[in-house]
């Protein structure tokens, strides 16, 4: 009796069936970012430092004017820390030499970059939520029942969204530069020095591209929502595309 041989699945299809899902890759990227001492330390500092700052101000007798303005004042600090969290998630792979293992394990670079961005957005949102919770808790304990909570809900949502956006911006910049110290230095020089100088000569234009100011304005509710949201979205798009394009073209070895 002649055995009937059934054709096996093509190698590419078999590999595609076994490749990890995007959700699993996203979860792995979050775990990877928190697996190093520097990653855990930076995430913890970003989550808890604003609450510590509020506690110090209250101990010195300085009471924030309102919950929204309190978070708005801390927005720049949170944004700067979230940029660093994002940069380390991508540029750290190249700085520490783990990129080769990462990209050979998951050959589809587009899926991996997408997972990194998604993971950093979720991690940034989670850290932003911790910032809101701890900061509001400290304010509630230290200021008493008369503290003005008007606009606290909108400020909390803005803090979470801005933290997610700035973490993705950092991840995009880190992916494009592929060197953590250079990416951090370059980003902070642009944000803190170049754009600050631009505010002196072209204030209207600088207002449109200043991501740190946009974060503070969005959280504090000091301007219309459309402008700071457009600024943050612009940074996310430009940094995300730059990181994806450069990563797809960069040689691994």
Mean pLDDT by 10 residues, the chain (253 residues): 50 53 88 87 91 89 85 88 93 77 74 92 96 92 85 93 96 93 94 94 93 93 89 97 90 68
pLDDT of residue 13: 47
Q: What is the SS3 string spanning the chain?
A: CCCCCCCCCCHHHHHHHHCCCHHHHHHHHHHHHCCCHHHHHHHHHHHHHHHHHHHHHHHCCCCCCCHHHHHHHHHHHHHHHHHHHHHHHHHHHHHCCCHHHHHHHCCCHHHHHHHHHHHHHHHHHHHHHHHHHHHHHHHHHHHCCCCCCCCHHHHHHHHHHHHHHHHHHHHHHHHHHCCHHHHHHHHHHHHHHHHHHHHHHCHHHHHHHCHHHHHHHHHHCCCCCHHHHHHHHHHHHHHHHHHHHHHHHCCCC
pLDDT for position 16: 46
Query: What pLDDT is stored for residue 1 in this prediction?
Result: 44
**Helix/strand/coil for 65:** coil
Whole-model pTM over 0.85:
yes
- The answer to whether 105 and 19 are in contact (CB under 8 A) is no
Burial category of 156 from C-beta neighbours within 10 Å (exposed 0-12, middle 13-18, buried 19 and up): buried
> Which tokens hold the place of 185?
């230095």
What pLDDT, on a 0 to 100 scale, did the predictor assign at position 7? 52
> Which pLDDT score is estimated for 82?
94
């Amino acid at each position: 009796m002649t055995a009937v041989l059934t054709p096996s699945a093509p190698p590419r299809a078999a590999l595609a069936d076994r490749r990890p899902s995007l959700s699993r890759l996203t979860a792995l990227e979050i775990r990877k970012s928190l697996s190093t001492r520097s990653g855990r330390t930076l995430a913890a500092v970003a989550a808890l430092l604003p609450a510590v700052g509020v506690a110090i101000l209250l101990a010195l007798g300085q009471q924030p004017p309102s919950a929204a303005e309190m978070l708005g004042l801390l927005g720049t600090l949170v944004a700067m820390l979230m940029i660093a969290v994002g940069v380390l998630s991508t540029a750290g792979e190249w700085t520490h030499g783990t990129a080769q293992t990462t990209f050979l394990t998951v050959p589809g670079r587009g899926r991996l970059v997408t997972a990194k961005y998604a993971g950093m957005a979720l991690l940034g949102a989670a850290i932003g939520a911790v910032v809101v919770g701890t900061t509001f808790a400290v304010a509630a304990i230290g200021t008493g029942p008369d503290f003005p909570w008007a606009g606290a809900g909108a400020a909390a949502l803005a803090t979470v969204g801005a933290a997610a956006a700035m973490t993705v911006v950092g991840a995009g910049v880190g992916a494009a530069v592929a060197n953590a110290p250079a990416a951090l230095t370059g980003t902070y020089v642009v944000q803190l020095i170049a754009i600050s100088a631009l505010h002196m000569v072209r204030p209207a234009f600088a207002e449109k591209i200043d991501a740190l100011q946009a974060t503070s304005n969005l959280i504090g509710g000091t301007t219309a929502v459309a402008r700071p949201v457009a600024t943050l979205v612009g940074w996310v798009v430009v940094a995300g595309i730059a990181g994806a394009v450069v990563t797809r073209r960069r040689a691994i070895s």
